[in-house]
Amino acid sequence: MATSKEEPLFFLIKSMSKSEKRHFKLYVNRTSNKENIKFIMLFDALEGMKSFVESAIFKKVPELKKTQLSNMKAHLYKQILTSLRLNHINSNVDIQLRENLDYARILYNKGLYKQALKMLDKNKQLSITAKNNMITLEILEFEKLIESQYITRSIGGRADELTNETKYYNKVISQTNEFSNLALQLYGLYLKVGYARNEKDFLYAQSFLKSNLPKYNYKYLTFYERLYLFQSLVWYNFIIQDFVMCYRNAQKWVNLFHQNPEMVQKEPMLYAKGLHNLLAALFNLQHHDKFCEVLEEMVSFSKDERYVNNENLQVVLFLYVYSNKINQHYMEGEFTSGLKLIPSLLQNIEHYADKLDDHRILVFYYKIACLYFGSGDNINAIKYLQMVIDFKDTSLRGDIHCFARILNLIAHYEEGIDDRLEYHIKSVYHFLGKMDDLQAVQKEIISFLRKLNRITLDNLKQEFTKLRNKLAKHAKEKYERRPFLYLDIISWLESKIYNKPVQLVIKEKRKLGVATLNDRYQL
C-alpha cells in the first residue's frame, strides 16, 4: 500500500487553493468526455482524503480499474499542472515569457518569420524589463537563427547588434552564476560550521571568499549580480562574526529591492530572505529599536496578498516571522510571554511538515527550549533539547547540537536532576571533542558543572561569581564570543548570583543600559 509520502499527485492536490481547484474544474469541463469525468472523480476522491490510501480510491471510484490507476494518475497530474500554469500566467511574468517564446516557435515552424521576429522582439523587451537574462539570451539565439537564414533580408548592422547583445548577456549570465555559486557555497559552509571557532576557521573562510569572488566593477553589475554579491558577503560576515558588515550588506540587499520595487513582485522570496538576514544581523548586534522596525516591515509584508500568493512563500514567511518574534522575546527578556507563540508554532510545523527541512525544525526546537529555559520551565526545556540531541545527522548545524547539549546539562542542574550529572558531563565533553568544538568558554562551563556537587551552599554564590567573571573576559575575545550568541550564560549566572529569574536579569540590563554587543559597534 502506498503512503502519502510516496504520492506526489496527492500532495499536489492538497497544495491547491480553492480558486485553483475551481479553475481546474472549469478547465476540464471545457472538453467533456468519459475519460475526463473519470479523472475528475479521481481528483475528488483524492481531495477528500486526509492521507493517501490507494485501496480507498477504488471504493470512492468503483468505475476505475486497478490497471487504469497508474495512467489515470499521470494524466491527472499533467492536467492539473496545465491548469495551474494557465491560472497563474497573468501573475507570473516568467510563465508569460515562456509562453510567448513557444508562440514564436510555432510561427517560425509555419514559415511566418516576420511575425516570429516581431513577437520575439516584443518578448525580449519584456524579459529585459523583468531582468530575466536567461530568457533574453534564449530569445537572442532564436533571433540569430532566423536572421542567419537571410529570410528577412534584414538591414545591415543587424548581425553586429545581435552578436554584441549575445556577448553581453553571455558575460552577465556567466558572472551571475559565479556570484550565485559563491553565495550557495558560503551558505552551505555556514550551515555546516556556523560561526568561526578560531583563526583557522576565519582564514579558511577568508581564503575561500578571495579565491572564488569574481572581479567586478560594482557600477556595471546587474540586479542579480548585486543581489548574489550581497548574499555572499552576508554569509561570509556571519561566518567570521563581523556583524556590523553583515548588517550593512544585508541592508544593501534589502535596499536593492527598495530601489527596484518591481523585483519585490518578481522575487518576493529573495526579498523576504533579505529582511530575515537583516534581522539576524540586528539580533546579533542587539540593536533592539532597528530590529523591531524591520520585524514590523516583515510582518506587514507577510500579510500583503499582492506578494504572498503561493504556499511556498507562506511557508518561508512562517519560518522567518516566528523565528524573529522569538528573537524579539529573547532581546527583551520576555521569555514567559514568548511561550504564547509555541502552540501556533508547533501547529504550523505539523501543518507544513512535508515542506520543512530538518535544519529549520532543529533550530525551532532549540529556540523553543531556550524560551522554556528562560521562563524557568526546565522540564519542557529538556524535552525540546532532547529532540535536538536525538537528531542523527550532527553534521547539520553542528553548533546547535553542541550548545543544546550544554544547555541540557544546565537545565538538568537547575531542575535538580543531577543523579547522573557526571555521566552526562563526560558524554557532552566527549561529543564536543569529537565535533572539534571545545573552546575556552565551553571548557570553563563543563569544568564548573563537574565540581558543582562538591561546592557547599555557602560557597556556591562565590563560585558562580568567579565563573561569571571568567566568562565576561572571554566574551571580549573575538572567537570566544561565539558561545554567547547561542546561550546567554552570563545572564544565567547573574540570575544565580542575585537570586533572580534570568528573564528579570535581562530586562533590568536592558532598562539600565548595561553594555551589550551593540554598544561596542557603530552601525
Which domains, from first to last, does the chain contain? 4-91 (no CATH), 93-154 (no CATH), 351-523 (1.25.40)
Q: Measured between alpha carbons, how far is 327 from 78 in angstroms, rounded to an integer?
A: 43
More confident residue, 491 or 425: 491
Residue 1 pLDDT level (bands cut at 50, 70, 90): very low
pLDDT for 33 beyond 70: no
pLDDT for 31 beyond 70: no
Mean pLDDT for 352-365 is 86
pLDDT for 223 beyond 50: yes
Out of 130-139, 146-155, 413-422, the most confident range is: 130-139
Q: Residue 450: which of 423, 415, 487, 488 has the closest Cα?
A: 423
Range in 20-24, 311-315, 432-436, 493-497 with the lowest mean pLDDT: 432-436
Residue 318 pLDDT level (bands cut at 50, 70, 90): very high
Q: Measured between alpha carbons, how far is 463 from 415 in angstroms, rounded to an integer?
A: 19
pLDDT for 521 beyond 60: no
Identify whether the C-beta of residue 216 lies closer than 8 Å to the C-beta of residue 225: yes
3-state secondary structure 18-62: HHHHHHHHHHHHCCCCHHHHHHHHHHHHHHCCCCCCHHHHHHHCC
pLDDT in tens, 364-377: 999 999 999 999 99
At 3 the pLDDT is: 42
Percent of the chain at pLDDT above 70? 91
Mean pLDDT for 327-340 is 92
Identify whether the C-beta of residue 140 lies closer than 8 Å to the C-beta of residue 124: yes
SS3 of residue 481 by DSSP: coil
Q: Measured between alpha carbons, how far is 512 from 517 in angstroms, rounded to an integer?
A: 15
Identify whether the C-beta of residue 234 lies closer than 8 Å to the C-beta of residue 256: no
Residue 358 pLDDT level (bands cut at 50, 70, 90): confident
At 519 the pLDDT is: 42
Range in 109-118, 292-301, 349-358 with the lowest mean pLDDT: 349-358
Out of 231-240, 417-426, 447-456, the most confident range is: 231-240
Mean pLDDT for 64-92 is 89
pLDDT for 464 beyond 70: yes
Q: Measured between alpha carbons, how far is 468 from 471 in angstroms, rounded to an integer?
A: 5
Q: What rounded mean pLDDT belongs to the chain?
A: 86
pLDDT for 81 beyond 80: yes
At 344 the pLDDT is: 95
DSSP letters, 260-323, are STHHHHH-HHHHHHHHHHHHHHHHHHT-HHHHHHHHHHHHHHHT-TTT--SHHHHHHHHHHHHH
Contacts 24+ apart (CB under 8 A), 516-519: 516/286, 517/243, 517/284, 517/285, 517/286, 517/481, 518/285, 518/286, 518/287, 518/288
What letter does residue 5 receive in the DSSP assignment?
A: G
Mean pLDDT for 218-246 is 95
At 155 the pLDDT is: 55
Mean pLDDT for 279-304 is 94
At 516 the pLDDT is: 44
Mean pLDDT for 333-342 is 94
More confident residue, 446 or 331: 331
pLDDT for 512 beyond 80: no
pLDDT in tens, 385-430: 999 988 877 766 667 888 888 888 888 888 887 667 777 777 877 7
At 496 the pLDDT is: 85
